[in-house]
Amino acid sequence: MNVLIVEDEKALALEINEFLSREGYIVEHAWKKSSAEEKIFVNNYDFILLDLGLPDGDGFDVLRQFKQLKDREDAVIILTARSAVDDRISGLDGGADDYLAKPFSLNELLARMNAIKRRKHKLDKNEVIVHQFVLDIQNRTVSFNNERISLTKKEFEIFNYLALNKNRVVSRISLTEHVWGDILEVNSDSNFVDVHVKNLRKKLSQFADTNWFETVRSVGYRINY
């Protein structure tokens, strides 16, 4: 999953980047309001971590611009030194999913991100079960009948993203964006996505039938269950 950090305090942004990268996230930065709006307009993100006090404008303006875009499901968490109740209310009323006042614990940030994922995908806990395969979202593991399956980070992310979007066709572009990050940096003619999916399917099929793992020709993939 990919994250955009909109934060002009570079030391904090780099600290969040290092922490989330260790947790398996793909992280991008925007130091200013203008660059944040440009990135959000071009790319989809799983999470946008948004500071309100930006050098060239207010984070609320970024939030308003984002909410005008159609068919976007990016979760927005406001990160700011502003602790006034009115600011919190304005952020949540404006469409933010959560609000963290600085200074905050990185572990609390991760916990809130996990909570948003659970709410968004209607999960009771940090697990997704796909035809006896158990995905532990928090620990980033997959098992079958309590036996751990050895997957690469990208293979897990592909399986995880498709599982969270069960019964929906996920395009190759969307999969690329959420697993690898900025699609502008990817060669659209490459078949690297198909190669990773093929390897994932091969590993899963060693444990059970995978007819539910569907390739939708010329579009993408779908997990049915």
Q: What is Dmax (Cα atoms) for the chain?
A: 55
Q: What is the average pLDDT score of the chain?
A: 89
Give yes or no for residue 93 having a pLDDT over 90: no
pLDDT grade, residue 113 (50/70/90)?
very high
As a three-state string, the secondary structure of 54-82 is: ECCEEHHHHHHHHHCCCCCCCEEEEEECC
The C-alpha R_g of the chain, in whole angstroms, comes to 18
- Residue bearing the bigger pLDDT, 83 or 1: 1
- Residue 23's alpha-carbon distances to 3, 85, 106, 216, in angstroms, are 12, 31, 11, 30
Summarised one tens digit per residue, pLDDT across range 178-201 is: 888 765 455 555 688 899 999 999
Q: Round to whole Å and give the CA distance between 63 and 56.
A: 14
Give yes or no for residue 58 having a pLDDT over 70: yes
Q: Round to whole Å and give the CA distance between 158 and 154.
A: 6
Domains of the chain: 2-120 (3.40.50.2300), 127-223 (1.10.10.10)
The residue to which tokens 């500071």 are assigned = 51
Q: What percent of the chain has a predicted confidence (pLDDT) above 90? A: 61
Q: Which two tokens mark 75?
A: 């979760």
The pLDDT, as a whole number, for residue 17 is: 95
Quote the pTM value: 0.78
Mean pLDDT, rounded, for 151-169: 93
Q: Round to whole Å and give the CA distance between 116 and 133.
A: 23
